Amino acid sequence: MNTTEDFKQFENLDEEYLPVAKHKLHDWTHFAGLYAAEHVAATEFVIGATFVALGAKTMDIILGLLIGNILAVLSWRFITSPIAVETRLSLYTYLNKIAGDSMTKLYNWANVIIFSVISAAMITVSATAVRFAFDIPAQLNWYPTNVWFILIVLAVGIVVVSIALYGFNAVSEFSGLCAPWLFVMFTSGAMVLLPALSLDVLDKTLPTGWTDIMTLGDQRIWTGINSDGAPGIGLVEVIGFGWAANTITHFGLVDMALLRFARKKNYAYASSTGMMFGHYVAWIAAGIMGAGAAVILGKSIVELDPGDVAYYALGWSGFVIVIVAGWTTAITNLYRAGLAAQAIFYNHSRMITTVVVGVVTVVIACFPFVFSQILPLLTYAGLLVVPVGAIVFAEHQIFPRIGYTRYWSSYRQLTFSMPAVASWGLGLAFGFGLNALDVISFFYLFIPTWFFTIAVYTLLASRYGAKQKYPEEAKEEQLRNETIQRFQQQQAREEPVISKDVSFFSKGLKFVAISALVATIVLACNVLFASTTEANYIENRELFYTYAFICTIIYFVLAYWALKRGKSNTTA
């Protein structure tokens, strides 16, 4: 066997088209950080306030979001993770393998649309913080009403597009740094504004028990009455949204791109850092912050945007949280959209496609509806890609169990898979048809759509060749996988050794950075528990605004410094 000749076919092939090598797998802490960074974001301000506007009740929020987010974690573990770990491929590569180029191009178009809209929403959210700093009116219509707001969106958008072009790796690392700070800020913001709510409802600065907390929630935050004055959503809808908010990534299998690096399938449970902290705690905290800011300003929560809420909860740190959380999410999604566009227009570089997609994204970001309607947008985006996840699930998990051949389309060298394209189209028609008929809550549309698409794809694939056996092609596939493993073993031996930074100075930097976060929590506790009167509360709140901002600067400077020192320890 000529090993050199065998390996030549892989040497110039992009790593994305190969299974992840064993030496590049990560432990669970890596995924805990990734999920915390991605799911503690600026959208939490919008979604937390949306539950208030939709008229959810306090107990429904507390219980419903807990159940919904647990279901989301289980979906990652039992739907996404097994396929990702067994194949070690991203969804894009695996979809091409089982459904051909045509299906993959259609799917990439869907991704361009979805990730551009999400990125646009995050640019708009970041712009709300800048708009507040310059005293520009809140943008509460679906269209912009102020020229200066448009200029701010353009400025923020240029920064986002520029970093997506040149600095994605740095932004990914910076997102990891942001995760613990974002969690501290959301928690602190709720603690800072809870006394304002308590003074308004209970005439005292601190609720003294569970009954007080429920009274506070029912009267000023999650009242059960929506913004139109009608009864709001109930427990079932809250559970549904908590589960459906990330259907793109778990039922839709987009997070195969992340979990293919996991050593074990159980590492998908690390998604709980994003769900329990980012969604459960942050959504509840955002609701408290929104209601508290509304009391201070004497307005309804639906009249506020994230800039208003963040400033009155966190002072100048509020500007930082909205901008940072917004643009880190925007850059990540714009990068994804650029990659998807490049896969369609493969004759052009990623930089060119990212610029074009970025221009369209910034134009969309000028219209505030993209963030004010983020809740239904996320749900419908999930519905758009869930049928694709169902097709992949059927091929990988169901076909071997019923005697069908996995990769049958690839074995037949089909560039166009009629069963896959037709199943996706019929799945969309079924899901959106159920929505038009108002048969079930739109939060749950992804479940019957998923099962329907699996059934349709299984039936159609059986008629187009999935029932047949392809022993020669299967043997070639096995030999190719074995060659890839040997190729990656050789790569592992040639990889540079990365030594951990264990210097006392770097440890000191990290210690002081973490201490700054602890100090922020202590300052927030001081506002909540040491404000015996309204005058004490205002004084302690101002103290928090000042020193929390100083702690924010200390944290980012020292944590980033420590990160850069750690990256310098690569040896050949």
What confidence tens digit (pLDDT) does each residue in 178-188 have? 778 888 988 99
pLDDT confidence of residue 257: 81
Contact 263, 14 (CB under 8 A): no
- Of the chain, the percentage scoring pLDDT greater than 70 comes to 88
Half-sphere exposure of residue 415, counting CA atoms within 13 Å on the CB side? 2
Contact 476, 10 (CB under 8 A): no
- 522 vs 95, more confident: 522
pTM, to two decimals: 0.86
The span from the CA of 271 to the CA of 248, in Å, is 14
pLDDT confidence of residue 347: 74
DSSP 156-201: HHHHHHHHHHH-HHHHHHHHHHHHHHHHHHHHHHHHHHHHHHHHHH
The span from the CA of 350 to the CA of 356, in Å, is 10
pLDDT confidence of residue 282: 86
- Average pLDDT over every residue of 490-501: 70
Chain center to CA of 477: 34
Q: Is the pLDDT of residue 215 over 60?
A: yes
The span from the CA of 481 to the CA of 284, in Å, is 47
Residue 476 pLDDT level (bands cut at 50, 70, 90)? confident
Cα 269 to Cα 261, 263, 265, 279, distances in angstroms: 14, 13, 9, 15
The span from the CA of 332 to the CA of 122, in Å, is 10
What confidence tens digit (pLDDT) does each residue in 65-99 have? 999 999 999 999 999 999 999 999 888 888 888 88
Residue 488 pLDDT level (bands cut at 50, 70, 90)? confident
Please report, to the nearest 10 degrees, the dihedral formed by the alpha carbons of residues 52, 56, 57, 60 taken in order.
-120
Q: What is the DSSP letter of 570?
A: E
